[in-house]
């Protein structure tokens, strides 16, 4: 999944809807990123972002700056990648469980991050936390 997202980023695309539901897995466990309906090409500038004014956003998978400012970048895809890792290691649990979208937004803004799924190695949870840094340049 990471290699696929790196490939998209290198081509100048932002996916905007990275979630486990959009990962295809074949019988050899090869994963492919799918559902490019929300993807957009960015400018040649590596710090470029795509800003939108309307449409629904998958809140549980979306970086705070993309929710607040509707600004999508490779950094916001990295946030989503951390959520996908959590989904995989939590065996498909719904991120943020039964929280409302409004509660997810306020909790994340206040610094809440998903806890490590049961049995998740510390190093993998740390990688997730790194994906969810408030400062998106870290």
pLDDT tens string 24-49: 999 999 999 999 888 888 866 656 66
Q: Tell me which residue of 81, 109, 77 sits closest to 95, measured CA to CA.
A: 81
Decide if 15 contacts 77 (C-beta within 8 A). yes
Model pLDDT, residue 50: 66
Give the CA distances from residue 100 to residues 38, 73, 96, in Å, rounded to whole numbers and listed in that order: 23, 25, 9
Decide if 86 contacts 30 (C-beta within 8 A). no
Which listed CATH number (1.10.1040.20, 1.10.510.10, 3.40.50.300, 3.55.40.20) goes with 1-37+56-132?
A: 1.10.510.10
Counting as low any pLDDT under 50, the low residues of the chain are none
Tokens of 12: 């100048």
DSSP state of 43: P
Q: Tell me which residue of 64, 8, 80 sits closest to 40, measured CA to CA.
A: 8
Task: Give me the active site residues, please.
Answer: 17
Model pLDDT, residue 15: 94
Model pLDDT, residue 42: 81
Strand partners, 13: 41
Provide the CB-side half-sphere exposure for 27 (13 A, CA).
Answer: 0
* CA 58/CA 53 separation, integer angstroms: 15
Express as a percent the part of the chain with pLDDT over 70: 89
Model pLDDT, residue 125: 99
């Amino acid at each position: 999944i990471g290699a696929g997202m790196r490939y998209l980023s290198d081509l100048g695309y932002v996916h905007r809807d990275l979630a486990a539901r959009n990962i295809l897995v074949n019988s050899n466990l090869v994963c492919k990123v799918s559902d490019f309906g929300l993807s957009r090409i960015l400018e040649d500038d590596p710090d470029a972002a795509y800003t939108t004014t309307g449409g629904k956003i998958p809140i549980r998978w979306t970086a705070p700056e993309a929710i607040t400012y509707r600004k999508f970048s490779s950094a916001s895809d990295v946030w989503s990648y951390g959520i996908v890792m959590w989904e995989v290691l939590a065996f498909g649990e719904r991120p943020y469980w039964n929280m409302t979208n409004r509660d997810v937004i306020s909790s994340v803004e206040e610094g809440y991050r998903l806890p490590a799924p049961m049995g998740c190695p510390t190093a993998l949870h740390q990688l997730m936390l790194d994906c969810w840094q408030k400062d998106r340049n870290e």
